[in-house]
Amino acid sequence: MNRLAIIRTTAAVLFAVGLLSLSVPAHALSCMGFEDRFFVQCSNGSCTTKFRVRDVPAPGACARRIVVEDVPSDLAEVLLHRLSNELGSGTYEVTLVHRYYAAPPVSAQELSRAFAADEFTAPRVRVGQPAVGSSLDQLREDWMRRAWWSLWALFTHWAFEFALVAGGMYVLYRTTAIFLQRLRLARPASLAGPIALQAGFFALTIACLGFIAGPVLPGVMVLVIPVLWVYELGAYFWVRHRSRTANEFF
């Protein structure tokens, strides 16, 4: 397979990915809130907060990852005071849902201020119980596995993003090189191919910018492609000028 065929295949794959992203059902414009889970054990009117599982902001649109950690005593005191009338004996999973577009509370002081906020910014509180037979140690192990997978998913997502950018930059480099080569060989009719590939890729980058759940980094090339077009247009008129000057001289 020659280089031009490789470029065409790559461009076709990228274009297909763009069409696939556009065919996915639309998502809400706002991101889902951060969930902050506390696992509490109560007995004889006394409750102990065993561990915490919270969403942490991550780079990317609506992105997050999971962190499993112990609960400081002052933070547990704020939480249990808020839930003093809702917990009996047993094991509970208390979930606080915070707005995405705000820094989620981490410390006891921040959580206390969140509870005291107005109804539009205060966290939503859900109280439930884990499945029957689930021990707190088992639950913690399960959530630690989920936390590891969330970190791995975040890494693979951004590795894929950078791979898309690298592949896109290579396509732009090769199409520009082919354009200049054909321009030097005085084959103006064949210049439409590289330009058409670049135009298709430009449309794909625009789609990335408009799709909140799609790749983000390829959208930066929406700034690169117009610069290439200005460069190619200048090269085209320069070659035409030199050719006309040479014909007039002879």
What is the full DSSP assignment across 179-245?
A: HHHHHHTT-GGGGHHHHHHHHHHHHHHHHHHH-TTS-SGGGGGGTHHHHHHHHHHHHHHHHHHHHHH
0.75 surpassed by pTM: no
3-state percent helix, strand, coil for the chain, nearest multiple of 5: 60, 15, 25
Query: Does residue 109 share a domain with residue 169?
Result: no
State whether 130 and 42 are in the same domain: yes
Alpha-carbon torsion angle 106, 111, 113, 118, nearest 10: 110
Q: What is the span of the domain harbouring residue 224?
A: 3-26+158-249
The pLDDT value given to residue 195: 87
Q: What percent of the chain has pLDDT over 90?
A: 30
Beta strands 90-98 and 34-43, pairing class:
antiparallel
- Mean pLDDT comparison of 29-33, 94-98, 194-198, highest-scoring range: 94-98
Q: What pLDDT does 23 receive?
A: 39
CA 203, distance to chain mean position in Å, is 20
- 124 HSE (CA, 13 A, CB side): 9
Q: Are residues 39 and 130 in the same domain?
A: yes
Q: What percent of the chain has pLDDT over 70?
A: 79
Residue 20 has pLDDT above 50, yes or no: no
Beta bridge partners of 35: 97
In a domain, 151, yes or no: no
Is the pLDDT score of 115 beyond 80? yes
Tell me: do 17 and 41 sit in the same domain.
no
Say if CB 73 and CB 53 are below 8 A apart: no
Q: What is the total count of domains within the chain?
A: 2
Query: Do 187 and 108 fall within a single domain?
Result: no
59 lies in the same domain as 128: yes
pLDDT at 30: 61
Residue 39 near residue 51 (C-beta atoms within 8 A): yes
Say which residue, 209 or 108, is predicted with more confidence: 108
Flag whether pLDDT at 97 surpasses 90: yes
DSSP 8-state secondary structure symbol assigned to residue 86: T
Would 149 be classed as within a structural domain? no
pLDDT > 70? residue 137:
yes
Residue 126 and residue 57 share a domain: yes
Report the run of H or E that residue 153 belongs to, with start and end. Answer: helix 136-184
List pLDDT tens digits, range 40-76: 999 888 899 999 999 998 877 778 899 999 999 999 9
Cβ atoms of 168 and 221 within 8 Å: the answer is yes
Of the listed ranges 23-27, 40-44, 149-153, 205-209, the least confidently predicted one is: 23-27
Distance, in Å, from the CA atom of 104 to the CA atom of 114, rounded to the nearest integer, reads 9
| Of 16 and 174, the one with more pLDDT | 174
The answer to whether residues 38 and 20 belong to one domain is: no
Q: Average of pLDDT values for 107-115?
A: 92
Give the number of other CB atoms < 10 A from CB of residue 132. 6
